[in-house]
Structure 1
């Protein structure tokens, strides 16, 4: 039995979290949940944005499933997601994007995984504002060690999963020093895995290639800001943020999450689509070594997505969150 920290989040978070826990219960997944929360709701109730109890749970269990969290706006709070990533060195943001039969998009045959460096770059929090001159300096800190870690993680993943190519997206023609660090780190990692093709592309060309011929890509690795942008772009190729999984992985901890927002405008109305969080939970099961039950859940979800009338409104169906959940359970 695996003890996992469960963070329901805000807005639609509790609804889609319940959907996932109901499906896990029906499939008799060997997971025991330890529920703790963070974000706007927690702050309103207790005055704590990230409670100490949550941090202790994460440090004990080492694995978590997290719904969408709202960081209060305009009160000087730092992003909860960024805080957790940096506190626990969750340096890999892993985002698969794969074509799903039943979800109609402009593209077919897409099966790529993006590795975004998750703790450095323009998210390092190194900003200075000179009021006299009216100048803001935001420093994109990129380290040799951080670059080596994310590049090797991308190659190691490709090796484990039988992937054939790793593509680095960078801007070394302009951001020369940081770009060169990433290129060298990938070249170094590629020497360890010589059977995997390595290529690099400048970020603007990468964006064009992703929307013109996305099926050419396999594993993509890049820096924090570029990864933030590309991961949403890749999600858009296969149906949007509501259908893709996400994970923040370090050497000692992993937090799996729905990458979309908390959608407070539809909270409590039974309209929320739990697919993204369920796919993140399936990723979590693979991480825990529970491959058989993970594949079983994946098949039940895919079989449901084939029937549009059984899906939620954002996928063209009429089902409520609970009805969609039940359709998945029925297919187990």
Structure 2
């Protein structure tokens, strides 16, 4: 397997090396291709990502990604939006469940996955900025809605065979369209489903996270709900994600570049390490993925944690501890 390794900016430069310690400890036949992409590159060259970078990534099987700083500059184009479009990574998959010894803000058991459409919606990149007004076009297509619904149904078949479709169809016609396409796909796949308005979902997901299994929604709603879900699960530093297409895949922690703690060695690497687990699952190395999951549980059970979880250990130390157990 050939992996493009993109640490990116901020704490990405710390959590990705920790994740690579774990990957290397497995002894797999993997070629790693390092790439410098992101805000740091943009400041130096005027380009955060180049056509050559895209070409190199397309020569790899998948991407292990850290984090990106996106400055409030109209000349800066989002790296992740471009990667998702260029590689057609239409499904953003984010699993959430409690980890050992992690203090949670809510009680009860939960284990759910948010399946977010990843290439259109409010992040379609069709925007206009004028002196007195700004416009962002929300694009929701049948193709985009059908394939994300199919991906969610395929996941639901491996779990509890139930789907929650999240939308704002009471206000947005584009969401009525998304809802209708998703319900049609669910019926075709014999998957039971229910619907939830996004504001009601944001409320109920905190109060009753155990009610949900597979959740499918549009790009912006999925972005917001998954960060909320990370709080339920104990923090952004614990939550991995996969960006999946029919040919390529990109795996990343859901947290950002966290410039406030970058360089301190205090960033939690568990989300990046669990992203490696998701990558190995995608590649068919299920046994190795479960080895990583068990090692993470063991380290958490031993209270070897970074400051965000109340510990005093460094990013590198936690990575080494997990690598030692895989």
**Unaligned segments of structure 2, at least 5 residues:** none
Contact kept? 2:23, 2:276, Cα under 8 Å? no
- Aligned to 1:193, which of 189, 194, 214? 189
Distance 2:137 2:269 in 1: 37
Pairwise CA distance, 1:153: 0.8
Distance 2:74 2:143 in 1: 34
> What's the counterpart of residue 184 of structure 1?
180
Pairwise CA distance, 1:83: 1.4
Contact kept? 2:170, 2:176, Cα under 8 Å? no
Pairwise CA distance, 1:262: 1.1
> What's the counterpart of residue 124 of structure 1?
124
> What's the counterpart of residue 321 of structure 1?
315
> What's the counterpart of residue 277 of structure 2?
282
Taking structure 1 as the reference length, what is the TM-score of the superposition?
0.93
**3-state SS in 1 of match to 2:41:** helix
Q: Report the count of equivalent residues.
A: 325
Distance 2:41 2:89 in 1: 23
Contact kept? 1:107, 1:238, Cα under 8 Å? no
> What's the counterpart of residue 149 of structure 2?
151
Q: Please list, as runs of the form range in 1=range in 2, the aligned pairs for 1:208-247 lying within 5 A after superposition.
A: 208-247=203-242
Distance 2:297 2:310 in 1: 15
**3-state SS in 1 of match to 2:263:** coil
Contact kept? 2:153, 2:161, Cα under 8 Å? no
**3-state SS in 2 of match to 1:276:** helix
Contact kept? 1:63, 1:253, Cα under 8 Å? yes
Pairwise CA distance, 1:129: 4.4
Matched, 1:54 2:53: yes
> What's the counterpart of residue 173 of structure 1?
170
1:119-153 deviations in Å (ceiling 9; x for gaps):
1111112233454xx33332211111111111111
TM superposition outliers: structure 1 runs of 4+ over 6 Å? none
Contact kept? 1:9, 1:67, Cα under 8 Å? yes
Distance 1:272 1:236 in 2: 16
> What's the counterpart of residue 68 of structure 2?
69
Matched, 1:307 2:307: no
**Unaligned segments of structure 1, at least 5 residues:** none
Contact kept? 2:277, 2:292, Cα under 8 Å? yes
Pairwise CA distance, 1:180: 2.0
> What's the counterpart of residue 99 of structure 2?
100
> What's the counterpart of residue 197 of structure 2?
202
